Structure 1
Amino acid sequence: MGIMFIDPGRLRTELMLEAAVTTADGAGGHTEDWQVVATVFADVEPVGEASRFGAGQAHETVTHRVTLRFREDVASGMRFVRDGRVLDIVTVRDADETGRYLVCRAREEGR
Structure 2
Amino acid sequence: MTAVGALRHRFTHQTSVTLPDGVGGLAAIYLTLDQLWGALETLSTEPAASEASRLALLVHRVTLRAPNTVAPGDRLLLRNRVFAVEAVHDPDGRGRFTRCRCREEQR
**TM above 0.5:** yes
SS at match of 2:56: strand
Task: Using the TM superposition, name which of 70-79 and 36-45 deviates more.
Answer: 70-79
- Counterpart for residue 31 of structure 1: 27
For 1:70, give the aligned amino acid. Answer: A
For 2:12, give the aligned amino acid. Answer: M
Q: Does 1:20 align with 2:20?
A: no
SS at match of 1:9: helix
Question: How many equivalent residue pairs?
Answer: 107
For 2:97, give the aligned amino acid. Answer: Y
Q: List gaps (5 residues or longer) in structure 2.
A: none
The offset of 1:53, in angstroms, is 4.4
Considering only aligned residues, what root-mean-square deviation do their CA atoms show, in Å? 1.5
Check the 8 A contact 1:22/1:31 in 2, yes or no.
yes
TM-score, structure 2 as length reference: 0.90
For 1:6, give the aligned amino acid. Answer: T
- Counterpart for residue 44 of structure 1: 40
| C-alpha separation in 2, matches of 1:91 and 1:53 | 21
Identity of aligned residues (%): 31
- 1:77-104 deviations in Å (ceiling 9; x for gaps): 0000011110000000011111111110
How does 1:59-98 map onto structure 2 within 5 Å?
Answer: 59-98=55-94
- Counterpart for residue 99 of structure 2: 103
Check the 8 A contact 2:81/2:105 in 1, yes or no.
no
The offset of 1:14, in angstroms, is 0.5
TM-score, structure 1 as length reference: 0.87
The offset of 1:56, in angstroms, is 2.5
Question: Larger radius of gyration, structure 1 or 2?
Answer: 1
